[in-house]
Amino acid sequence: MEPLENANGNGSACAIEDVAVIGGGAKSLGVIEACLLAGLSTTLIRSTPGGAAEARRRLSASLEDKRADGRLDPEAVTRALGRFRAAGDIGAAASADLVLDSTVLPWRDRQTLLKLAERATNGHAILATTAPTALLRALSTRLDVRENFLGLHFFAPAVLAGFCEVSVTNRTQPTVVETAVQFVQALGKYAVIVRDTPALLLLQTQGARLGPSGSPPSRSDAALGFCGALERLLA
């Protein structure tokens, strides 16, 4: 990571140049594609069935679609694919500046992966997860350097969505937050900082019960449900 001048005029924030994404699903590949198009070296650490060839095929198909409709030129597609690597061992994340857990595994399994990523990078990388903000503190409990940990929530499709949530705990270092924000901006997205405050955690725990049965709540339903839950809490 190369130092960047932050808002306070010093060089404590760092530029992310090498990213490792643990996953393999559609959202993981969307994040990887966004990183590749931003000029970042990106490694997929597979947590799902399928080899490197399949992941490269899917990425190539997505990039080719963008070339076909004029959004990319052939050279850009070639350069992007040239920055991509895939591995089945988390040790391949050793050189990463940022390691993102983008799995859909149970939280304890994700916690284990994050600990392994911390060891692989000797505690120097920023560790991030796509898990809900309400799980951040639990996921961080086995980490030696909790100050380097936060959440990154990409909205689907990750390569096209215009913003990304940067979720932080009370342990996350300000310079780590700033570096994450600069990373999101480098992907061409607007960074929205979210903190795991009691009100937010209440909203997330209520969220599953806010929408109609069998369907996820809309943002307006969630907002109304949150207000009602907050009123009950404060009553």
- pLDDT tens per residue, the chain (235 residues)? 544 333 333 445 568 999 999 998 899 999 999 999 999 999 999 887 777 888 899 999 999 999 999 999 999 999 999 999 999 899 999 999 999 999 999 999 999 999 999 999 999 999 999 999 989 999 999 999 999 999 999 988 888 889 999 999 999 999 999 999 999 999 999 999 998 765 444 444 444 333 333 344 444 444 444 444 444 444 4
Distance separating alpha carbons of residues 40 and 198, to the nearest angstrom = 35
Distance separating alpha carbons of residues 86 and 53, to the nearest angstrom = 9
> Could you tell me the CA-to-CA distances from 222 to 28, 151, 211 in Å, in that order?
26, 20, 8
Q: What is the pTM of this model?
A: 0.79
Find, among 120, 119, 215, 118, the residue nearest to 129 by Cα.
118
Determine the pLDDT at residue 1.
Answer: 58
Mapped to the 3 state alphabet, what secondary structure does the chain carry?
CEEECCCCCCCCEEECCEEEEEECCHHHHHHHHHHHHCCCEEEEEECCCCCHHHHHHHHHHHHHHHHHCCCCCHHHHHHHHHCEEEECCHHHHCCCCEEEECCCCCHHHHHHHHHHHHHHCCCCCEEEECCCHHHHHHHHCCCCCHHHEEEEEECCCCCCCCEEEEEECCCCCHHHHHHHHHHHHHCCCEEEEEECCHHHHHHHHHHCCCCCCCCCCCHHHHHHHHHHHHHHHHC
**Domains of the chain (ranges plus CATH)?**
2-196 (3.40.50.720), 200-234 (no CATH)
User: What six digits make up the tokens of 96?
Assistant: 């990463």
Determine the pLDDT at residue 158.
Answer: 86
Determine the pLDDT at residue 197.
Answer: 65
Determine the pLDDT at residue 198.
Answer: 54
Distance separating alpha carbons of residues 115 and 96, to the nearest angstrom = 15
Find, among 163, 190, 164, 45, the residue nearest to 103 by Cα.
45
